[in-house]
Amino acid sequence: MKNLLNKRLQQISAQFMSIFAVTLILTLPAYLYAEEIKIGVVNTEKILRESMPAVAAQKKIEKEFQVRETRIRELSVRIRALQQELEKGTGIADEEGRRLKERDLAGLSRQYQRAQQQIREDLSLRQNEEYGLILERTNQVINELAKKYSYDLILQLQDSVYRSARIDITDQVIKALNAQESVAGKP
């Protein structure tokens, strides 16, 4: 009986060892080969505000639209002067003169509104063009950083509730873009 019990214990022990070995063989490779996934996040809004290419683009656009903005301000001054003239009644000899000035004011107001709308549309288009180019360069830099630092995933996040500073690579991207801008700006 004792031999039979020992034999049965050996069989159970062998079965347990077999199950343990199979489990170990199946799970060990996954454990050994599992690597940490490296994730990064980028705030493109911050890049479009703070990077040298974005600041340069904004200055370029402001310079391009400066003349038009000056014309709009001049129109605004003319409108205010005409409104004050009508309110005070100065320089208006008769009712016909008043109607002419009111018509002039209405025409200037329409011209002012059209000019404002046109400059907003043109400005928006121009900003989209410049920012599109910057975003292309940003994506290239992100790809380079991803390869260089072995990132598995980089997300462009604007409205994340929380992100660790450890995975936020926005400043690295800005630094790389600024370095490109400095090299491109040198003769």
Task: Using pLDDT thresholds of 50, 70 and 90, give the confidence band for residue 18.
Answer: low
pLDDT at residue 85, as a whole number: 84
Measured CA to CA, the distance from residue 157 to residue 94 in angstroms comes to 64
| Mean local confidence (pLDDT), 144-161 | 84
Looking at per-residue pLDDT, the higher value among 145 and 16 belongs to: 145
Measured CA to CA, the distance from residue 53 to residue 138 in angstroms comes to 10
The DSSP code for 186 is -
| Mean local confidence (pLDDT), 86-98 | 76
Question: Is the pTM above the cut of 0.75?
Answer: no
Measured CA to CA, the distance from residue 138 to residue 166 in angstroms comes to 20
pLDDT at residue 148, as a whole number: 93
pLDDT at residue 162, as a whole number: 73
Name the CA dihedral angle for 155, 130, 66, 121, rounded to a multiple of 10 degrees.
-80
Strand, helix or coil at 164? coil
Strand partners, 156: 42
Task: Count how many Cα atoms sit within 13 Å of the Cα of residue 160 in the half-sphere of its side chain.
Answer: 15
CATH class of 36-185: alpha beta
pLDDT at residue 156, as a whole number: 82
In the predicted model, what is the mean pLDDT of the chain? Answer: 82
pLDDT at residue 108, as a whole number: 93
Looking at per-residue pLDDT, the higher value among 171 and 183 belongs to: 171
Task: Using pLDDT thresholds of 50, 70 and 90, give the confidence band for residue 131.
Answer: very high
Strand, helix or coil at 168? strand
Q: Which range among 12-16, 90-94, 150-154 has the greatest average pLDDT? A: 150-154
CA distances from 184 to 51, 128, 179 (A): 14, 22, 9
| Mean local confidence (pLDDT), 94-108 | 87
Where in the chain are the domains?
Answer: 36-185
pLDDT at residue 181, as a whole number: 83
Looking at per-residue pLDDT, the higher value among 86 and 161 belongs to: 86
